[in-house]
Chain A
């Protein structure tokens, strides 16, 4: 701080205190910078926290392996599927099965159909969310269309499977699990994956046959 215009006595008093003031200001500035960094650090921290606890209802963004469990035939959980398209995206996402009774531990396959209602090629991705959020960590997805972007030509349709397992550790008080898929438009960038990926289809064909399809469409 430069010396402001003031009387001599006053200036002496202030200069006496100048080092102390400078120290206080430096310390507050350090705290300030720390808090600004902390605000941004909260973003990854929140993601990690949510991944561990499943608090925001987000499921894993990549395929998980089947947990080796016997199906608990004594317990059934009502699994519901809701789909929607975000504003301004002329696509339709339809769940072939709206509701299915699932035994925890068993893996289940359901199908969804994507339709591009517009007259141009577009890329979109279905983003999942699970309610109640406590169920998110107990929902394992073996195959899901939500892991990739989908590209569809004008008027094109595409049927895609979702293979999932509700693990037996699902808390007892949860009787209904709702899964919402929201379609969001994506920029067609390099990350896009072809819809008919032969390796994926092969993998799926081999996998599905081995599945314990404990579905009971009531």
Chain B
């Protein structure tokens, strides 16, 4: 808790213009302030710090994997522990880092962008955050249990995760249940806030793209997190109560697990990217000093992607023995997703076109997002081709693909959001020179890590294996060097955030020249209570 930011300096006085205040009756002090808080800004900060901690822990696990893969042969860890590291890295990054970071950003920015005083259900908000430390303490505690942590990959396919799983799997199931409940409660809160607490006069089509993408994401969460809960409950019953949902010996079917998992899993990957689309769609117009090109088409494209995400799950399962008709259906439906995604990329580029662009750190990350996410999207299209996927399946090509959409995709968008909104959160600009160093080290590190994986994957290197043939040695060495470069440069990010909380160049209410959304009308740093009286909202023509 020592790293939590100090109380906002702006105690009284300069809450000018739109107003807002930091005063509160009978506030608990010290640690209880954070345990009991129902304030959306404080809870948002907690989410973001929790996510940063998980990002670091998941990153260390990834570096254990990369260190082992630096050379062929087994050097540092046993294969069993290697499997635990790949599994825990995936679980922590997906459920502990990316998802809570987006929920944290939503907590902070959704009420500010729609002119609401707080989230609709503040106490529920507190509960849904504090479930997360419980869930991930449980999950991480499996590392010191007899038999070790889960070792079956983040996709936990049965029967690896049931019949052949370590005893700690029951803890893993419980932790996933708790994290799932947290996500569901967060989603309910966000939906209730966006639908009911908008400033008078603000129509749905007046909302920023960040709010829009989060609304759609929240609906995805409501739709698929219960399916995940159902799947892990079935696993729990298979392991402990003798049922046979996924056990062929008892009449069950392991392939059913994959269908159920990916019915959750594919919308889940869009849960991790749609808010990123929203963030980039607010940052690019700000620093291009133009309105977002094609606002309505952005909204419809996001909704189309969300709906299509329910119809493509079996493209993760092309090799389980689907009939030809199913292979074709899932191949074409997957390719169809490239259309709305293409609309979005086009709109970002059209927004940049003839804009007065400046390259602040937030903008650097946003532009890197557009370029590198598109590369990840293209390798996704290659994987969508069913006959080709038989070759690519479970190779490093898949690893390269989903890391391109998640690291320079989701993670870079979160970094961009942090650099964009830090002046609003802390009242200070982040250190410019260090931020630029952070960006360039990150982007070089990311590409050094993941680009060679395309080649090792196409050459046939399987994923999740601690050893490899000699011909993959050079690519793996480059990947490992890049991974350590990327990992270490994130320490710089921690330093930048810490420095920005402590001090730095003072930011005015409107911290960026081209920023037009509602959050820039409240003072920087945003006082604890904002928009206690709904702001007068004047719609702009999109």
Question: CB within 8 Å of B: which residues of A?
Answer: 1, 4-7, 9-10, 13-14, 17, 20-21, 24-25, 28-29, 31-33, 35-36, 38-40, 42-43, 46-47, 50, 53, 55-58, 61, 86, 125, 127, 129, 131-134, 182, 184-186
Given contacts A35-B223, A134-B323, contact A10 B192 (CB under 8 A): no
| Residue on B nearest A53 in the bound complex, by CB | B323
Chain B residues whose CB sits within 8 angstroms of the CB of A36 once the complex forms:
226-227, 229-230
Is B191 on the interface with A (CB-CB < 8 A)?
Answer: yes
Contact B222 A125, beta carbon cutoff 8 Å: no
| Residue on B nearest A50 in the bound complex, by CB | B253
Binds A, one of B118-126, B422-430, B510-518: B118-126
Chain B residues whose CB sits within 8 angstroms of the CB of A32 once the complex forms:
184, 188, 222, 226
The listed residue (A21, A31, A55, A127) touching B120 by CB distance below 8 A is A21
| Residue on B nearest A61 in the bound complex, by CB | B251
Distance from B156 Cβ to chain A, minimum over Cβ atoms (Å) = 15
Q: How large is the interface on B (under 10, 10 to 19, 20 to 34, 35 or more residues)?
A: 35 or more
The listed residue (B123, B229, B248) touching A4 by CB distance below 8 A is B123
Kindly list 6 other residue pairs between chains A and B, CB separation below 8 angstroms, not including A35-B222, A36-B229, A55-B323. A4-B123, A13-B534, A25-B192, A28-B191, A56-B256, A132-B321
Contact B117 A13, beta carbon cutoff 8 Å: yes
Distance from A180 Cβ to chain B, minimum over Cβ atoms (Å) = 10
Chain A residues whose CB sits within 8 angstroms of the CB of B24 once the complex forms:
5
Chain B residues whose CB sits within 8 angstroms of the CB of A28 once the complex forms:
187-188, 191-192, 222
Chain B residues whose CB sits within 8 angstroms of the CB of A182 once the complex forms:
248-249
Contact B196 A46, beta carbon cutoff 8 Å: no
Distance from A83 Cβ to chain B, minimum over Cβ atoms (Å) = 15
Chain B residues whose CB sits within 8 angstroms of the CB of A61 once the complex forms:
251
Chain A residues whose CB sits within 8 angstroms of the CB of B256 once the complex forms:
42-43, 46, 56
User: Once the chains are docked, how many angstroms separate the CA of A125 from the CA of B377?
Assistant: 47
| Residue on B nearest A86 in the bound complex, by CB | B249
User: Once the chains are docked, how many angstroms separate the CA of A25 from the CA of B180?
Assistant: 17
User: Once the chains are docked, how many angstroms separate the CA of A24 from the CA of B188?
Assistant: 8
Q: Which 6 residue pairs spanning A and B have beta carbons closest together?
A: A39-B230, A184-B249, A36-B226, A35-B226, A39-B227, A20-B196
Most buried by B among A9, A32, A50, A131: A32
Is B38 on the interface with A (CB-CB < 8 A)?
Answer: yes
Distance from A184 Cβ to chain B, minimum over Cβ atoms (Å) = 3
The listed residue (A5, A24, A40) touching B26 by CB distance below 8 A is A5
Most buried by A among B122, B195, B196, B248: B196
Is B497 on the interface with A (CB-CB < 8 A)?
Answer: no
- Tell me the B8-39 residues at the A interface (CB within 8 Å): 24-26, 38
Chain A residues whose CB sits within 8 angstroms of the CB of B323 once the complex forms:
53, 55, 133-134
User: Once the chains are docked, how many angstroms separate the CA of A47 from the CA of B259?
Assistant: 12
Contact B253 A46, beta carbon cutoff 8 Å: yes
User: Once the chains are docked, how many angstroms separate the CA of A97 from the CA of B222?
Assistant: 53
Contact B121 A21, beta carbon cutoff 8 Å: yes
Most buried by A among B121, B227, B249, B263: B249
Chain B residues whose CB sits within 8 angstroms of the CB of A21 once the complex forms:
120-121, 192, 196-197
Contact A40 B230, beta carbon cutoff 8 Å: yes
Q: Can you list 7 contacts pairing A with B, beta carbon distance less than 8 Å?
A: A4-B123, A55-B322, A56-B253, A125-B249, A127-B248, A127-B249, A186-B249
User: Once the chains are docked, how many angstroms separate the CA of A202 from the CA of B259?
Assistant: 43
Given contacts A4-B122, A21-B121, A131-B321, contact A9 B253 (CB under 8 A): no
Chain A residues whose CB sits within 8 angstroms of the CB of B346 once the complex forms:
none
Contact B121 A31, beta carbon cutoff 8 Å: no
Chain B residues whose CB sits within 8 angstroms of the CB of A185 once the complex forms:
249
The listed residue (A33, A42, A127, A184) touching B260 by CB distance below 8 A is A42
Contact A39 B229, beta carbon cutoff 8 Å: yes
Contact B38 A4, beta carbon cutoff 8 Å: yes
User: Once the chains are docked, how many angstroms separate the CA of A1 from the CA of B121?
Assistant: 8
Contact B231 A39, beta carbon cutoff 8 Å: yes
Given contacts A7-B532, A24-B195, contact A31 B223 (CB under 8 A): yes
The listed residue (A9, A133, A186) touching B321 by CB distance below 8 A is A133
